[in-house]
Amino acid sequence: MKKIIATILCLLSFSISAEEKNYSISADIGRANGNIDGYRLGLQTEFTSWLHGHDIPLSGYIEGSLNYWNGSGDESYAIAVAPVFVLPLCNNCNYTPYVEAGIGIAFISEKKIDDRDLSSSFQFENRVGVGIKTKEIDFHVRYMHYSNGSTSQPNDGLDLFLAGMAFKF
């Protein structure tokens, strides 16, 4: 577990600078196709998009995460890192609804879980989500897809639907 945490901190370290950053920690729970339960802890650091000054309020965050999947007695752990772009649907609101999307990479401990054969430890992590947030708390639902991008076969993939919350610090 210490190695996994150290790896995520190393992956996020490139985004740390002398400027003030906004960090969040998130927890998600959900279900995947088949009989697979998913649990996820994430650490996010916000960034401002290059489009921010062009009347497009697009921003986002970089997330490092620890994932645990349990299906019919099979278990797999994953570490992942992904940039996620966020488009708020209301500016200057107390409660801001938003949509998000991102693509990252993940490394999984077991290639087979339940009836899913992911074929390789390397996976792409794709996501779309919606949520509502205040300055300190974020409630969200996400669809996440893990796949090796057909770099090896079989490529059953894993589709997760997650609900969770994040706390800014």
CATH number at residue 47: 2.40.160.20
Rounded mean pLDDT, 46-65: 78
Question: What are the distances in angstroms from CA 85 to CA 41, 111, 119, 128, 151?
Answer: 19, 28, 29, 10, 26
Position 21 scores a pLDDT of 60
- Give yes or no for residue 109 having a pLDDT over 60: yes
Task: Give dist(CA 82, CA 70) in Å, integer.
Answer: 22
Q: Quick one: CA torsion of 30, 131, 41, 83, rounded to 10 degrees?
A: 120
Neighbouring-strand partners of residue 62? 45, 83
Task: Give dist(CA 152, CA 62) in Å, integer.
Answer: 27
Position 7 scores a pLDDT of 54
- Give yes or no for residue 31 having a pLDDT over 70: yes
Task: Assign 22 a pLDDT band (cuts: 50, 70, 90).
Answer: confident
Q: What's at 91, amino acid-wise?
A: N
| Residue span of the structural domain in which 112 resides | 2-13+21-168
Rounded mean pLDDT, 136-156: 95
Task: Assign 72 a pLDDT band (cuts: 50, 70, 90).
Answer: confident
Task: Assign 18 a pLDDT band (cuts: 50, 70, 90).
Answer: very low
* Pick from 2-16, 106-120, 132-146: least confident: 2-16
- Contact assessment for residue 148 and residue 155, using Cβ atoms and an 8 Å cutoff: yes
Look over the chain and give the mean of its residue pLDDT values, rounded to a whole number: 87
Residue length of the chain = 169
Position 53 scores a pLDDT of 59
Number of domains in the chain: 1
Task: Give dist(CA 167, CA 164) in Å, integer.
Answer: 10
